[in-house]
Structure 1
Amino acid sequence: MKILYICHRIPYPPNKGDKIRSFNEVKYLAENHDLYLAFLVDDPADVKNVDPLRKYCVDLAWEEVDPRQQKIKAAPHMLLGKPLSLPYFYSSSLQRKIDQWAGAVDFDAVVCFSGPMAEYVFKSNTLKRESGKAPRLVMDFCDVDSDKWGQFSREGKFPMNIVYGLEQKRLLAYEAKVNREFDCSILVTENEAHLFKTLVPEARNVEVVGNGVDFKFFNPEAVPGNTVDTTIDGPTSASPQTGDHRDDAPRTEPMHLVFTGAMDYHANVDAVTWFCRDILPIIRESGIDVEFYIVGGRPTPAVKALEQVPGVTVTGFVDDIRTWYAQADVCVLPMRLGRGVQNKVLEAMAMQRPVVTTTKAAEGVSAKDLQHLLVADSPEDIARSVIELCKNPNARTQLGEAGRTFVTENFDWKRNMEKLEELLK
């Protein structure tokens, strides 16, 4: 098949949620099909990551955008009653390239990754359904983005809570339109699909294509003494100085608690801020010596300020996330916002690390509390779970091993991508 794939951000390196999913879709579809890839680059540091993607594509088109300018461009649309997400992720020059392709290539399918990218189909003069051969249109919503804005509205302060609330309503109406116009709508979990069909009762052709984890790459045995393979098929890497800890060795250093994620993402910022403010003090009051590592690129000023808390380290971007998982005694992922599959949970489990997380973060993984990970929602319960693991090396080992087994048995990218391929036909 000839496939046009349009995504809202460059799908490489696969070091954060949306990029992990989009990269694995691109990688899999490119194996047996002619792929034309279009995307935006909203970080100058990502420009160097464009060329490595060319090996997956017949052709590639991209446009660099400045997030600040995109926000300014989007602002007037509030008065027009449209979702701000649409102009934020829209580029007229990228539109022209897509239209050029569509005029020259008879695409069998078009995949849009993230709802706002449907604009490139709706505004195209050459992808119109009524003229010529109509390609099959598939939208990978991944998560119900409109509901995320609703969460932000409930958590936010005036006046941004008003802005978030408007975005939630307008984006939901747009998602309903996409579902009507596209042949298939994909969500990442059954819970997300159920939520979408609840919010859009008339929804049709809603399918679930789950995430996966590269459990060969995210493998504690694949991190040999800080010497790491950095091919495009896995995230690039560099390492901290500390490594994994032997449970039977005398403990001479603090317990290492690790959080991973893109640190400019609101849900991650909320999680680490909450942990440092409300949970970490309870752990310290128990007498356990701990250090908390916040690992991920583009930390906001609010995240950087957390380094003022004793024992908290903000790493910024790291080349190899695996080495930070490897040094973790406990991966603490206290998510209060966001939906869908939390890739950080899957990666930590694949790296055989014991995970303490919340119901919201665990629901997309479907792992069992007390068997594959520990689930808690209040500061006291989260702290208690971390304390128990810190005190019990055997529990850490058993939970880590059970978590890795669960991931390898249930989150195979190849199996999930085969379903995506079938939906394109």
Structure 2
Amino acid sequence: MSEVLFLAHRVPFPPDRGDKIRSNHFLRRIAELAPVHVGALADDAADLAQESAVAAISQSHCIVRRNAPLQLAALSALGQGLPVSLAAFSSAKLQRWVHAVLEARPISAIFVFSGQMAQYVPPEFRGRVVMDFVDVDSAKFEAYAQTGALARRLLYAREARLLRRFEEATARRATTSLFVSREERALFESRLSGAARPDVRALGNGIDTELFDPGVVQPAPELAGEGPAIVFTGQMDYPPNITAVELFAHQVMPLIRQAHPQARFAIVGRAPTPAVRALEGVGGTMVTGAVPDVRPWLAGADIVTAPLLIARGIQNKVLEAMAMARPVLLTPAAATGIGGVDGEHFALAEAPLALAGRALALLSDRAAAEALGASARRFVIAECGWDRMLAPLQALIGAQTDVA
């Protein structure tokens, strides 16, 4: 029986953040279709502790701690003319393991999750290569390069330029390349050089609507109070998330609190930076840090917001809030790729005054807000189930076995 090599830039367990949710579902589906060997990098001891979960689903595995400081990776990349993203996820140990697996096992396909891992695919491999870029990383760095100190802008511009070149070369090497939305696929294709086009497809994220069900959890008691609660969830050392909550706390919440003086803004997510921690108490803001389960915080929210100015791909945080039947307030960037309709499945606004206006409208008409949330849940149940999203995987990896 043909086997599959699965490579991921982070251990796909537990599925508790956007990239891990996607990689976890892809891995579990592939493991149903064929024997799978898993190579992944670990950010920390918590990732390493998930090795038993990886072992349980795979025929063999290699988990390597990624412990080179970013500054050292940057120096290495500068010396070699490589994107920093590649140097930061480079491991000689993992590279040796990949070669050993390819020599010893009948690997017919390599599934690569995230562009940084394409460096591990040997040029001489002749089987299928499915490259899941998820989103266009080089475009993200181009956006970063527009603001900040000069040295930082120059570094981001370099990263964007080199990464764009690497992404195109990788897509041309791959059998098929995947992106999380039609918009990301179109963006990538618009940046390709030459007339020949590689096989590039959109394969979206799903949502587990049985897990994210408002009927199975109780609201977080921390949100109980006289004033309305507005919630943001996400990884809080991620720059676009930091920018989003700073904007909301400083520019939107003061406008909301003119009408609702007791309104609160809860920032829920792991690894808050000092800049995020400094928002505690600003405009009714509370910063929770990591929580064992985001669902109670979503369940207790009068509004869930994602005021992202820079967003790549589909935001899992938005799908989760919609599945929990909450009224969701989004910027257009955060709504990209979801496919819902403004006013029917979520509320869209971008400038602080417009965000505050849509929030106040939702808070003033609770029946309409609840109807918006119920419509959102119906939408994700119908359109965003993981089974539907992952149906193309069997053909992509060339698996001949029946679905388990």
For the residues of structure 1 that align with 2:67 and 2:245, how far apart are their CA atoms?
A: 27
- Matched with 2:402 is none
Deviation at 1:93, TM superposition (A): 0.8
- Matched with 1:419 is 392
Gaps of 5+ in 2: 399-404
TM-score by length of 1: 0.90
Task: Name the aligned partner's letter for residue 10 of structure 1.
Answer: V
SS for the counterpart of 1:165 is helix
SS for the counterpart of 1:207 is strand
Deviation at 1:242, TM superposition (A): 4.8
- Matched with 2:7 is 6
1:381 is aligned to 2:354: yes
- Matched with 2:61 is 60
1:127-169 per-position Cα deviation (integer Å, ceiling 9, x unaligned): 723xxxx221110000001100011111333210110011001
1:397 is aligned to 2:370: yes
1:320-377 per-position Cα deviation (integer Å, ceiling 9, x unaligned): 1111111111001100012110110100000000000000111211110001000001
For the residues of structure 2 that align with 1:367 and 1:95, how far apart are their CA atoms?
A: 42
1:98-144 per-position Cα deviation (integer Å, ceiling 9, x unaligned): 1111110020100111111011114xxxx723xxxx22111000000
- Matched with 1:177 is 169
- Matched with 2:211 is 217
- Matched with 2:253 is 280
SS for the counterpart of 1:155 is coil
Does the 8 A contact of 2:146 with 2:153 survive in 1? yes
Match of 1:188 among 174, 180, 183: 180
For the residues of structure 1 that align with 2:283 and 2:198, how far apart are their CA atoms?
A: 52
SS for the counterpart of 1:356 is strand
For the residues of structure 2 that align with 1:284 and 1:81, how far apart are their CA atoms?
A: 51
Please give the root-mean-square deviation of Cα atoms over the aligned residues, in Å. 1.6
- Matched with 2:38 is 37
For the residues of structure 2 that align with 1:421 and 1:23, how far apart are their CA atoms?
A: 16
SS for the counterpart of 2:231 is strand
- Matched with 1:106 is 106
Does the 8 A contact of 2:254 with 2:283 survive in 1? no
Task: Name the aligned partner's letter for residue 206 of structure 1.
Answer: V
1:325 is aligned to 2:298: yes
Does the 8 A contact of 1:5 with 1:112 survive in 2? yes
168-177 or 25-34, larger mean C-alpha shift: 25-34
Aligned residues: 395
TM-score by length of 2: 0.94
For the residues of structure 2 that align with 1:380 and 1:33, how far apart are their CA atoms?
A: 52
SS for the counterpart of 2:159 is helix
SS for the counterpart of 2:391 is helix
- Matched with 2:132 is 140
Does the 8 A contact of 1:339 with 1:364 survive in 2? no
Task: Name the aligned partner's letter for residue 181 of structure 2.
Answer: T
For the residues of structure 2 that align with 1:76 and 1:97, how far apart are their CA atoms?
A: 22
Does the 8 A contact of 2:253 with 2:283 survive in 1? no
For the residues of structure 2 that align with 1:342 and 1:353, how far apart are their CA atoms?
A: 15
SS for the counterpart of 2:344 is coil
For the residues of structure 2 that align with 1:46 and 1:76, how far apart are their CA atoms?
A: 25
1:299 is aligned to 2:272: yes
For the residues of structure 2 that align with 1:312 and 1:152, how far apart are their CA atoms?
A: 26
280-289 or 267-276, larger mean C-alpha shift: 280-289
- Matched with 2:17 is 16
1:166 is aligned to 2:158: yes
For the residues of structure 2 that align with 1:212 and 1:33, how far apart are their CA atoms?
A: 22
Deviation at 1:66, TM superposition (A): 2.2
Task: Name the aligned partner's letter for residue 174 of structure 1.
Answer: F
Does the 8 A contact of 1:209 with 1:420 survive in 2? no
Task: Name the aligned partner's letter for residue 128 of structure 1.
Answer: E
Gaps of 5+ in 1: 227-239, 246-251
For the residues of structure 1 that align with 2:24 and 2:306, how far apart are their CA atoms?
A: 23
Does the 8 A contact of 1:334 with 1:357 survive in 2? yes
Does the 8 A contact of 1:333 with 1:358 survive in 2? yes
For the residues of structure 1 that align with 2:34 and 2:71, how far apart are their CA atoms?
A: 36
Does the 8 A contact of 1:71 with 1:88 survive in 2? no
For the residues of structure 2 that align with 1:315 and 1:29, how far apart are their CA atoms?
A: 35
- Matched with 1:368 is 341
Superposed counterparts of 1:180-259, under 5 Å: 180-202=172-194, 203-223=197-217, 225=218, 240-242=220-222, 253-259=226-232
For the residues of structure 2 that align with 1:340 and 1:272, how far apart are their CA atoms?
A: 19
For the residues of structure 2 that align with 1:7 and 1:417, how far apart are their CA atoms?
A: 17
Does the 8 A contact of 1:288 with 1:387 survive in 2? no
Task: Name the aligned partner's letter for residue 148 of structure 1.
Answer: K
Deviation at 1:263, TM superposition (A): 0.6
